[in-house]
């Protein structure tokens, strides 16, 4: 892929910082935006340490997309061909606790950057959606055109984003690609806070030999997707010649239970001499949670050439290894 220049929102976050690293390593230029609501300077510093002199191709602006500073973007938009929008307030529980903040970040922020990209005639707009849009549709595997009713404010915001993208294609003929990520995990994922994802949170707790909470009986399943698979999907979306509006599932295409995840982390840590001695603490199911999730990735495979190279448990092993070596 020839060198390009990108706008990348959510650049200091988990997925964003991993994508930043991949883009810089390939020789691209990146204009990164983040307000540090969930991202961190630590993630950016880690990328800087890995890419060396290629860091000069990155420029960062601290910015809240809900109150977009268009003058800053205007001054730096020359040569930009694509906008990759990853910024969002994630977490179903967070959205239930504060739906207003989630709406402002995920809908107003999305619309602001989408319309900026359209008006400035960027060739492509790629954005992060979520498996949460499948809502109360219990059919498995999840297929892109069969969704249910949203079960949380977060799920609703992601569905509205998809609808805006579709309307922008119909009304303005503006090409958009939405990637429905399923439970992405890996390096630079924040383990701290009430809304942290289970894998980094459990890994930290087991290293510290503190209690972990499992909501339900532990047989709840998710289609956990290692970060490198997600980055590969984004890179393929960048390369595609599609000029329409499309939505793609991004996952592995297999279910893994929470019990399996917890036991695998425990086993992998034992390789490094860490023995977790606590019993798992099983709690009531949380509002907004679904019992099972598994993606059909046929569309992404056939259209983008997406084939996940790292299965869930292999990703867990790699994540634990990276975490132990990094610390």
Q: What is the pLDDT of residues 270-296, one digit of tens each?
A: 999 999 999 999 998 877 677 889 999
Kindly report the pTM of this predicted structure.
0.94
Angstrom distance (rounded) from CA 113 to CA 59? 18
Closest CA to 175 of 247, 106, 107: 247
**Using an 8 Å Cβ cutoff, are 253 and 223 in contact?**
yes
**pLDDT greater than 90 at residue 92:** no
Query: How many Cα atoms are found within 13 Å in the side-chain-facing hemisphere of 250?
Result: 28
Residue 154 designated active-site? yes
Percentage of the residues of the chain whose pLDDT score is greater than 90: 86
Q: What is the pLDDT of residues 113-126, one digit of tens each?
A: 999 999 999 999 99
Give one word for 19, left, alpha or beta, with left for phi > 0 and alpha for psi -120 to 50: alpha
Mean pLDDT of all residues in 65-74 = 89
Residue 197 is predicted with a pLDDT of 85
Fold assignment, 5-185+225-252+296-308:
Rossmann fold (3.40.50)
Choose the catalytic residue: 134, 154, 226, 306: 154
The residues spanned by each domain of the chain are 5-185+225-252+296-308
Q: Is 96 helix (H, G, I), strand (E, B) or coil?
A: helix
Q: Which residues contact 289 (CB under 8 A, 6 or more apart)?
A: 92, 151, 215, 216, 220
Mean pLDDT of all residues in 34-45 = 95
């Amino acid at each position: 892929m020839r060198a390009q220049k990108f706008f990348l929102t959510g650049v200091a976050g988990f997925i964003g910082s991993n994508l930043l690293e991949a883009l810089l390593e390939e020789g691209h230029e990146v204009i990164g935006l983040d307000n540090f609501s969930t991202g961190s300077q630590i993630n950016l510093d880690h990328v800087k340490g890995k890419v060396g002199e290629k860091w000069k191709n990155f420029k960062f602006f601290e910015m809240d997309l809900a109150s977009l500073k268009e003058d800053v973007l205007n001054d730096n938009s020359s040569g930009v061909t694509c906008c990759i929008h990853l910024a969002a307030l994630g977490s179903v529980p967070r959205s239930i606790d504060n739906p207003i903040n989630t709406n402002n970040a995920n809908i107003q922020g999305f619309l602001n950057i989408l319309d900026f990209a359209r008006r400035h005639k960027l060739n492509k707009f790629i954005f992060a959606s979520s498996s949460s849009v499948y809502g109360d549709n219990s059919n498995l595997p999840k297929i892109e055109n069969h969704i249910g009713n949203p079960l949380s404010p977060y799920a609703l915001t992601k569905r509205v984003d998809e609808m805006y993208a579709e309307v922008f294609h119909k009304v303005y003929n503006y090409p958009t690609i939405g990637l429905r990520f399923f439970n992405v995990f890996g390096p630079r994922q924040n383990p701290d806070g009430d809304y942290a994802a289970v894998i980094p949170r459990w890994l930290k707790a087991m290293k510290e030999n503190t209690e972990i909470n499992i909501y339900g009986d532990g047989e709840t399943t998710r289609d956990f997707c290692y970060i490198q698979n997600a980055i590969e999907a984004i890179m393929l979306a960048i390369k595609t010649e599609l000029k329409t509006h499309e939505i793609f599932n991004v996952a592995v295409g297999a279910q893994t239970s929470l019990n399996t995840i917890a036991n695998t982390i425990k086993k992998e840590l034992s390789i490094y001499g860490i023995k977790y001695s606590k019993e798992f603490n099983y709690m009531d199911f949380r509002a907004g949670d679904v019992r099972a999730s598994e993606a059909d990735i046929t569309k992404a495979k056939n259209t983008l050439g997406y084939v996940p190279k790292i299965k869930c448990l292999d990703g867990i092993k790699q994540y634990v290894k990276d975490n132990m070596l990094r610390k």
